[in-house]
């Protein structure tokens, strides 16, 4: 069966995309050109050989090789790939809070799908390593410092961390005397993403959806974003960049890398990434990161606008020197 993937070489086509293309949202549509050109809103990813191209294009040394990687990934996880581009397209027409609801509904649907079940069956068993205090708070006048504090697992995001972060952000939202929030991570990385020891432990995707939208750090960050500065270092994977991207200002140490790995699990970003990243880098570049799983270095993250400043004063433990 042909995978839901179409590649159009724009250097060898004229006029609008050919009518044989699926309607947007029915397949992953990728455009490729030696140099960027107007392409309308048809494509989900746009690749070019030109370095540092304007948004929404992605510059690649070998665009054809990247296109092959995209095709392979879509072939392996067709349901997740098409769901991703559908959610990103739908989100562009929705108010910010509604984007989180649509993302969560799609995520729950994929949790019941074959792609996630197969990944889960092949994944090694992991032992949960809970922390007594997964999020630490420090108040200094109007400044609230929120520190993810599970360094033994690179601040992997588990349910206890989610709940504690929600409690901290509820203070920032409700208390007008909190004028600044610094969001940090203790240890070698800001956040390595969702805690894989908890993946698959929920047997009810519908109930999981209600929990995600009812206890949502992303929704709280949307409400207090102007106060929040995220200070990134090391690995910012999955929820580690999805949540940070909501912050009004994002500072990153030179060793920072970002990655969206969920497609390989048969899922899409589920911590708000389909809302937070497009607001900063656009729908197509978000799709590129999620569909390829490529790690983005801090220089490119800054050039794209995912990071506002490369900050050499953020130390490897996530604290300013």
- For each of the chain's 321 residues, which pLDDT tens digit applies? 789 999 999 998 655 555 567 778 899 999 999 999 998 899 999 999 999 999 999 999 999 999 999 999 999 999 999 999 999 999 999 999 999 999 999 999 999 999 999 999 999 999 999 999 999 999 999 999 999 999 999 999 999 999 999 999 999 999 999 999 999 999 999 999 999 999 988 889 999 999 999 999 999 999 999 999 999 999 999 999 999 999 999 999 999 999 999 999 999 999 999 999 999 999 999 999 999 999 999 999 999 999 999 998 875 444 444
Q: Locate tokens 């007008």: which residue?
A: 176
Q: Which residues of 163-180 are buried (b: 16+ CB within 10 A; e: fewer)?
A: ebbbebbebbbeeeebee
Residue 233: C-alpha distances to residues 20, 211, 244, 275 (Å): 45, 29, 11, 22
- Of the candidates 198, 201, 186, the one whose C-alpha atom is nearest the C-alpha of residue 152 is 186
Question: Which alpha helices (DSSP H) does 92-216 contain, by range?
Answer: 96-111, 114-122, 159-174, 205-214
Task: Give the pLDDT score at 139.
Answer: 96
Other CB atoms within a 10 A radius of the CB of residue 81 amount to 27
d(CA 196, CA 122): 13
Fold of 98-310: 2-enoyl-CoA Hydratase; Chain A, domain 1 (3.90.226)
- Of the candidates 306, 267, 289, the one whose C-alpha atom is nearest the C-alpha of residue 69 is 289
Domain range list for the chain: 5-76, 98-310
Task: Give the pLDDT score at 15.
Answer: 55
Q: Collect all residues with Cβ–Cβ distance below 8 Å to 146 and sequence separation of at least 6.
A: 135, 136, 137, 165, 168, 169, 181, 182, 183, 184
d(CA 258, CA 18): 35
Contact (CB, 8 A) for 251 and 231: yes
Task: Give the pLDDT score at 204.
Answer: 92
Under the phi-then-psi rule, with left for phi > 0, alpha for psi from -120 to 50, and beta for the rest, what region is 4? beta
d(CA 224, CA 178): 10
181 strand-pairing partners:
144, 228
Task: Give the pLDDT score at 316.
Answer: 47
Task: Give the pLDDT score at 319.
Answer: 46
Q: What are phi and psi of 167, to 5 degrees?
A: -60, -40
Task: Give the pLDDT score at 36.
Answer: 95
Task: Give the pLDDT score at 200.
Answer: 80
d(CA 297, CA 307): 10
d(CA 135, CA 146): 7
The SS3 assignment for 250 reads strand
Cis peptide before 56 (omega within 30 of 0): yes
The SS3 assignment for 114 reads helix
């Amino acid at each position: 069966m042909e995978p839901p993937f179409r590649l159009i070489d724009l250097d060898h086509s004229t006029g609008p995309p050919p009518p044989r293309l699926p309607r947007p949202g029915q397949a992953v549509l990728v455009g490729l050109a030696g140099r960027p050109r107007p392409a309308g809103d048809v494509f989900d990813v746009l690749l070019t050989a030109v370095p540092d191209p304007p948004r929404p294009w992605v510059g690649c040394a070998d665009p054809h090789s990247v296109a092959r990687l995209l095709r392979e990934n879509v072939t392996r996880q067709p349901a997740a790939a098409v769901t991703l581009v559908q959610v990103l397209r739908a989100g562009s027409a929705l108010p910010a809070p509604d984007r989180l609801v649509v993302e969560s509904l799609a995520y729950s649907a994929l949790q019941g799908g074959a792609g996630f079940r197969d990944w889960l069956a092949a994944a090694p068993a992991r032992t949960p390593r809970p922390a007594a205090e997964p999020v630490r708070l420090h108040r200094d006048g109007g400044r609230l410092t929120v520190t993810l504090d599970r360094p033994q697992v690179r601040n992997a995001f588990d349910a206890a961390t989610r709940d504690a972060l929600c409690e901290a952000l509820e203070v920032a939202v409700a208390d007008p005397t909190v004028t600044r929030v610094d969001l940090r991570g203790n240890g070698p990385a800001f956040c390595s993403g969702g805690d894989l020891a908890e993946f698959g432990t929920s047997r009810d995707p519908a109930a999981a959806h209600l929990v995600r939208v009812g206890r949502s750090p992303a929704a709280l960050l949307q409400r207090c974003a102007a106060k929040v500065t995220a200070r990134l270092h090391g690995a910012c994977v999955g929820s580690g960049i999805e949540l940070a991207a909501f912050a009004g200002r994002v500072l990153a140490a030179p060793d920072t890398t970002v990655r969206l790995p969920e497609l390989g699990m048969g899922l899409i970003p589920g911590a708000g990434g389909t809302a937070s990243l497009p607001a900063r880098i656009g729908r197509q570049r978000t799709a590129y990161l999620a569909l390829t799983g490529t790690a983005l270095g801090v220089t490119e993250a800054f050039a794209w606008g995912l990071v506002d400043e490369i900050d050499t004063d953020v130390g490897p433990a996530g604290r300013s020197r």
